[in-house]
Amino acid sequence: MPIKESGPPASGGAGPAFFFAPGGAVERAMKNFEPRRQQGEMASAVYEAIAEGRHLVVEAGTGVGKSIAYLLPSALWAARGRKKVVVATHTKALQEQLVKKDLPVVKAILAEQGLPLKYFLLMGSANYLCLSRLERSGAHQSDLFDGPEEQGSAAELREWAKTGASGCRSEIPLKVAQRVWEEVCRDPDICLGRKCALKEACLYRRDIALAKQADLLVVNQHLFFAGLPIPAFDAVIFDEAHNLEEVAAAFMGFSVTDRQVKRLVDDIYNPKSGRGLARRLKNPPAHWLADMRQAVGDAHFASAEFFQDITAKLGFVAFEGKAPEKAKRLREPAIVPNTLAAPLLALTVLLSQALGYSQSDLEEAEIKSYLKRCLALAEQLNIFLECKSAEHAYWAEVSYSKRNPAASLHRAPVDVADALRKELFEEGYPVILTSATLAVDGSFEMIKARLGLDKPAELLLDSPFDYERQAVVYLPPEIPDPQEGAAYEAAVIKECARLPSAVAGGIFFLFTSWRLLVKSYSALAGRFPERPIFRQGDKLPQHLLAEFRRAGNGILFGTDTFWQGIDVAGQALACVVIARLPFASPDTPLEEARQEWLAARGVNVFSEYSLPKAVVKFRQGFGRLIRSRTDFGAVVVLDPRIRTKRYGAKFLRSIPRCPRVSDLSALRAFFNRG
């Protein structure tokens, strides 16, 4: 049941709805602020839930202004009661928005009430510069770095660090090569803590101190699950909470790649360059160094053989035009011998001996770090090959590129509900889950079941945008069913070719299949010389998006990356084309395992899992379109099942009510009005 506004807040003083009223503090603090009923309702619900120690699930449609709607009440509660609130997001973009745009407004509003507010953004430790490792890199730069470019980058970084105010990579005004950063960033396995000679100047330590002092701490969801380096907090808010299941599953599982093994072994000793930990040790016995060379060579050979054997056994075959990634599920134990076990064990024995040759605390910590990683790798490989837990999925992936194929092995839980119930929702602090897309057909049942959230308070808020005026849904009638294969694909490509003539602004073509994306791009790329064409994979997503925005009339071909978390306002994005209803492919190993696990427990997999999940993703794709009160545009659905199947109505009911058209002339008329 939705939360209803109650009386005065438990802690006294004005409640958050007061601040959102016309002429109130939010309007005074924010330029072009427009009071929205939904925003005030959400703020009251968040405050009430946190103050009363209850969990809350709240969906806030596009345009509600949900970040301010949860930041202001939670900051108010924290500042009044000297509490600490953690806000965990999925994307860095949202973290930066909260810290650079929204929280300064909240701080100013609370200052009017005589309430000081401290907030801080804390990143994962690998995002921080380690002054100790940086200093060491100067003494060992010929051993650590390849060529003058990397050595120059490290030297420039050492010079900057003498006066630099922040150790966070995003705040360092230098272009630092990735290889250099990996050698100078903070590594928790190597960190000496209080034993470090540079602990008083440590930039990460300084940020941890600021995080401890903050009333409101912003982090990403991965860091939250990995463990926050602060003693305690009193409430947590998960924004972009529709990603929570996947983040939790990734954290509770593991992956091992062939390149990860190679990098680890090379870092211990690289026979080609003569570099590595073994060469940096002072005067180890000659026989030890010879044994290490032999062990490293054995490990490299065994790794190549192991990954080749397992990918061959699972039937991976590369051919022209293959999708960039392919995954295959492991279903039986011991499909290949663990040829890596003995070489990894040999390395651990030699690394244990190396502890006696270390000359410093840092060197000893580094040896222990490599020892720990070798043991962890050996354990993960054994767990993977045993393949014995029915509650986990096991699979291998091969990524094909211009270089050699890269292989990786994965294990992940098929269900995280029980773990989250015990380790998150029963911990005694209130948890707020929010997103623009959490409900299916007006119900939160799926998200609650998947996350193990029992009997939370619920609030479902619509968007304040006028979709009946601002948007239209175009459902062309002549598209065959996707099961018709080639006929369906040909019809999709034909319709995509027609759309630019009716839409002057930018267009997203969103696909669920990489193969169809490539096929469509190949067929259409040369058809619109007056419009810039972008394809996912050609550049980093953020660079593609920046160029797409600047173009104003671009056409972008994208898959998963562009279905969510993308904000392009105005006519730079006037049309979103959904090629196919986004049902998760059951041949994805994790999805296949999840569906089997659910079916074994008597769950109707299609109606209770696959369909609701597809509806949520469909809503995310639809949500890319209207981002402000002045936006207008069209969503095109090229999957006839939205009209011909009974379940199609659930997709249409899940989006805001707006006009539907079925011919291109009506779509053209929509864009040409006024």
Burial class of residue 88, CB neighbours in 10 A (0-12, 13-18, 19+): buried
- In 424-581, the DSSP E strands lie at 431-435, 457-461, 471-474, 507-510, 533-535, 555-558, 575-578
207-235, pLDDT tens digit by residue? 999 999 999 999 999 999 999 998 899 99
pLDDT in tens, 533-551: 999 989 888 889 999 999 9
Rounded to an integer, what distance in angstroms lies between the CA atom of residue 562 and that of residue 510?
Answer: 7
In DSSP terms, 168 is beta-bridged to 128
Q: Is 237 strand, coil or helix?
A: strand
Query: Residue 183 pLDDT > 60, yes or no?
Result: yes
Amino acid identity, position 262: K
Q: What is the pLDDT of residues 291-311, one digit of tens each?
A: 999 999 999 999 999 999 998
Q: What is the pLDDT of residue 1?
A: 31
CB atoms within 10 A of CB 238: 24
- Mean pLDDT score of the chain, rounded to an integer? 90
Q: What is the DSSP letter of 534?
A: E
Between CA 19 and CA 259 the distance in angstroms is 53
Percentage of the chain with pLDDT > 70? 95
Place 98 in a pLDDT band, splitting at 50, 70 and 90: very high
- pLDDT value at position 222? 95
- Please state which CATH number belongs to domain 467-672: 3.40.50.300
Strand ranges, E, within 483-562: 507-510, 533-535, 555-558
Same fold flag, 16-118+214-234+429-461 and 467-672: yes
pLDDT above 90: residue 275:
no
- How much is the pTM? 0.89
**Predicted pLDDT at 7:** 34
Domain ranges of the chain: 16-118+214-234+429-461, 125-202, 251-413, 467-672
Domain 16-118+214-234+429-461, CATH among 3.30.499.10, 3.50.50.60, 3.40.50.300, 3.90.1010.10: 3.40.50.300
**pLDDT tens readout for residues 471-488:** 999 999 989 999 999 999
HSE of 272 in the Cβ direction (CA atoms, 13 Å)?
A: 7
> Of 264-273, 399-408, 637-646, which range is least confident?
399-408
Burial environment of residue 545 by CB neighbours within 10 A (0 to 12, 13 to 18, 19 or more) = buried
- For the beta sheet containing 660-661, the strands, ordered from the edge strand earlier in sequence to the opposite edge, are 533-535, 555-558, 507-510, 575-578, 633-637, 471-474, 660-661
- Of the candidates 474, 468, 467, 466, which has an alpha carbon nearest to the alpha carbon of residue 668? 474
**Predicted confidence band at 3 (pLDDT cuts at 50, 70, 90)?**
very low
Q: What is the pLDDT of residue 14?
A: 57
555-558 vs 431-435, strand pairing mode? unpaired
- Helix (H) or strand (E) holding 216, with range, is strand 216-220
